[in-house]
Amino acid sequence: MSRAEAERAVELLFADRRARLAAERKEEMEAKAITLGDKTLRWLAKTFGESPASGRSLWISMHGGGNAPPRVNDRQWQNQAGLYEPAEGIYVAPRAPTDTWNLWHEAHIDPLFQRLIDNHVALEGVDPDRVYLLGYSAGGDGVWQLAPRMADRFAAAAMMAGHPNEASLLGLRNLPFALFMGGNDAAYNRNQVATERAAELDRLAAADPGGYVHLARIYEGLGHWMNKQDAEALPWMAQFRRQPWPDKVVWQQDDVVHRRFYWLQLPEDLVIPDRQQFTAALGDGGDHADRRCAGRAGTAAVRPAGGSGPTADRAGRRSRGVPRKGRATGGRDPGFDRGASRRRLRRHGAARARHGAGGSPMTPAGSGIIDQSGPSGG
């Protein structure tokens, strides 16, 4: 198969999956309600600007509230629907399925958001590399949590007036991240914690050139309401596109675990310890995949998603079977992604497109439309 034929194969797979999803999910898109199990995600949507040739952007904007009666959270939802206006794109304000304090980072959110993204790609022409996440107050809490653990879904994320609780920043290595906080927003020490996290992002970026792109704004004299000064986030975010195939991945598990992240996949039978961390990189001189668990080096099975299974050894040792740069095969990112698939097929040719276990067809990086299961929810 030639390069052109391989690219054509990706286009056909993409078109087929998109058409099937468009037919299967038309009703839930028209109803603006997705139900998985006993949880339903509803949303309000507005469209701004002209659609680029590559497809529209998608902005997922999470409301505040939480730990309150439904009517209070409903009012917060309505407020969020009119809070921001991107220059271009589909602005979606979802209503959290629950009214709990952690309403945006419970385990059911991940698969619901994955389906929300897939549906908009299939039926609304959204570019899967231009999906953005933002949230205010309790919605900001959600951004702190969801952005690192779903970093491979988004082009950029912005946190407004939220608290991170125990969330780690390590998974943000390839996701541009902005944080906004009023200097007088002292409830739960939000202002102090935001300042500390901004400094931590500075340190991470300095220690890892090319990673941890970020923007931090602490507005002196402002409280929990920032008078819409935080709207500067949107043009900053819009300059970025998702990186579905980064050369380096830092994967920090959260209390909601995932088994796929960028081009890495964990075996289904692997027990994932609490807060497990992986670091994997592709380099010209050979590749390595390190694993750390609760600060200790260890051993686990990890493989490029969709490919053969290497061993991730103790920190610093190369993993057998982890592909060298130019040989990384198989795998997929969540969401639709033709661009990453084309890039990979150009590198590796048709033989690589069949590298999956048992010679199964490739599930390209970024093509959750082809591999619908995705990494969501572990």
| pLDDT tens digits along 114-165 | 999 999 999 999 999 999 999 999 999 999 999 999 999 999 999 999 999 9
CA distance 170 to 358: 34
Is pLDDT at 252 greater than 70 in this prediction? yes
What would the mean pLDDT of 96-108 be, rounded to a whole number?
Answer: 97
Average pLDDT of the residues in 302-327: 36
Average pLDDT of the segment spanning 247-268: 93
DSSP bridge pairs for 218: 181
Q: What is the CATH number of domain 32-238?
A: 3.40.50.1820
Asked if the model's pLDDT at residue 3 lies above 90, the reply is no
The residue ranges of every structural domain in the chain are 32-238, 258-359
What share of the chain in percent tops pLDDT 90? 67
Whether 358 shows a pLDDT value over 70: the answer reads no
pLDDT of res. 301: 47
pLDDT given for residue 378 in this prediction: 33
Per-residue pLDDT at 356: 27
How much is the pLDDT for 303?
56
